[in-house]
Amino acid sequence: MDFGKLTSIEGIQFALPAAHPRTTHVLAQGKKQPLQVFVGCPVWACKEWQGHLYPQNTPEKQFLQHYTRQFNTIELNTTHYRTPDDLTIQRWYKEAGNGFKFCPKLLQAITHEHQLTGNTADQLTTNFLTQVAGLQDKLGLVFMQLPPYFSPSEVSKLQSFLEKHFQLPSQGRQPLPFAIEFRHEGWFRQSQAFEKVCQLLETYQIATVLCDVAGRRDVLHQRLTTPDLVLRFVGNGLHPTDYSRTDEWIQQLKKWVAEGLQNAYLFIHEPDNTKAPEMAAYWLTQLNQHLGLNLKMPYFYGSKKGVDTLF
């Protein structure tokens, strides 16, 4: 992921900011239910994973099948560029393992080209949501990445978009779990504007996306609007800080779980993503150890002594 990427991370303060005060309230208001945690990568089509995450000489057409037996979710970025057709949805559903969750990113034409407005944007949105709903029980959540030029001055566009495509809880829960990522620096410079839009998301029961990346520490706002964490964690080539940052996140998760966190979607990025499975495995190890979970660990082919030797 190029957003927030730096040529050097020297001097970057990676410590997590304090959780937003409203987050505790949001978590406390959620229905009490068992925690569900999903950890995955942003791609499955990576040839470098042959003989490592996938068996040697695995055909590319089988990558998805093998990926979904290794991790239980994916940040589905391909949908940012093209709405999947019926045959694609059916194939994805058939090839994914039980309990797997796809998390599609909303079509770029809706968010970046049309900026959520106009008949074309409405038609594209309706079609997109209809298509991904075909993933049925293997759909995790849909997330929308607002462009870096979508500023607080355009909040009315977002509000109109939500009114058209999502129902208020009093009208019935929206059919698809949804989350939104904000990128324009103005959202974080203008705390009142960001809090106002977060209250709007609370009303519609839509989650925020947190992004932990070296070059944009402001997008790590720690403001949850539902009892769900959606985190895009961007590492730096398995630098020691990747592990210390993960450790700090685990402690934050323990606090949020105690306060009522219900779902955590954790998407692990690394430069060119060839090392993302190793970082995701470290997350899984720490989650199991410190949160008392029993999440399935990936199997690395060619590693004779097990996953622990990777760290």
Residues 175 and 288 in one domain: no
Assess whether pLDDT exceeds 80 at residue 81: yes
- In the prediction, which pLDDT does 1 show? 81
For residue 43, give every residue at least 6 positions away whose Cβ sits within 8 Å of its Cβ, in sequence order, or none.
74, 77, 273, 276
- In the prediction, which pLDDT does 126 show? 96
On the CB side of 284, CA atoms within 13 Å amount to: 25
For residues 53 and 70, the answer to whether their CB atoms sit within 8 Å is: yes
Tokens (6 digits) for 245: 């940052």
For residue 155, give every residue at least 6 positions away whose Cβ sits within 8 Å of its Cβ, in sequence order, or none.
193, 196, 197, 200
The average pLDDT across 259-278 equals 95
Cα separations in angstroms, 173 against 116, 158, 225, 276: 21, 18, 15, 34
Q: Is residue 228 part of a domain?
A: no
Residues 129 and 171 in one domain: yes
Domain of 284 in residue numbering reads as 37-54+235-311
The average pLDDT across 36-56 equals 96
Of the ranges 31-35, 52-56, 210-214, which one carries the lowest mean pLDDT score? 31-35
Assess whether pLDDT exceeds 80 at residue 207: yes
The average pLDDT across 233-251 equals 97
- In the prediction, which pLDDT does 307 show? 55
Sheet of 207-212, strand order:
101-104, 73-76, 36-41, 263-269, 228-234, 207-212, 178-181, 142-145
The average pLDDT across 45-65 equals 95
| 276-291 and 240-259 helices, crossing angle to 10° | 40
Q: Is residue 298 part of a domain?
A: yes
Residues 90 and 170 in one domain: yes
The pTM for the full model equals: 0.95
Q: Beta strand pairing status for 178-181 and 263-269?
A: unpaired
Which residue pairs from 83-91 have beta carbons closer than 8 angstroms and sit at least 24 positions apart in sequence?
A: 83/107, 83/124, 83/127, 83/128, 83/131, 84/131, 84/132, 85/131, 86/131, 86/134, 89/131, 89/132, 89/134, 89/135, 90/134
Of 175, 191, 222, the position where a domain reaches its end is 222
d(CA 170, CA 204): 10
d(CA 279, CA 100): 19
The average pLDDT across 40-65 equals 95
- In the prediction, which pLDDT does 2 show? 83
Residues 197 and 146 in one domain: yes
Cα separations in angstroms, 179 against 191, 208, 302: 19, 5, 38
For residue 61, give every residue at least 6 positions away whose Cβ sits within 8 Å of its Cβ, in sequence order, or none.
none
- In the prediction, which pLDDT does 174 show? 62
For residues 213 and 219, the answer to whether their CB atoms sit within 8 Å is: yes
Of 165, 196, 222, the position where a domain reaches its end is 222
Ramachandran angles phi, psi of 75, nearest 5°: -80, 105
Q: 99-130, pLDDT tens digit by residue? A: 999 999 999 999 999 999 999 999 999 999 99
Of 187, 222, 257, the position where a domain reaches its end is 222
Residues 243 and 110 in one domain: no
Residues 130 and 88 in one domain: yes
Average pLDDT, the chain: 93
Q: Considering Cα of 107, then 231, then 296, then 309, what sign does the dihedral take?
A: positive
For residues 104 and 140, the answer to whether their CB atoms sit within 8 Å is: no
Percentage of the chain surpassing pLDDT 90? 86
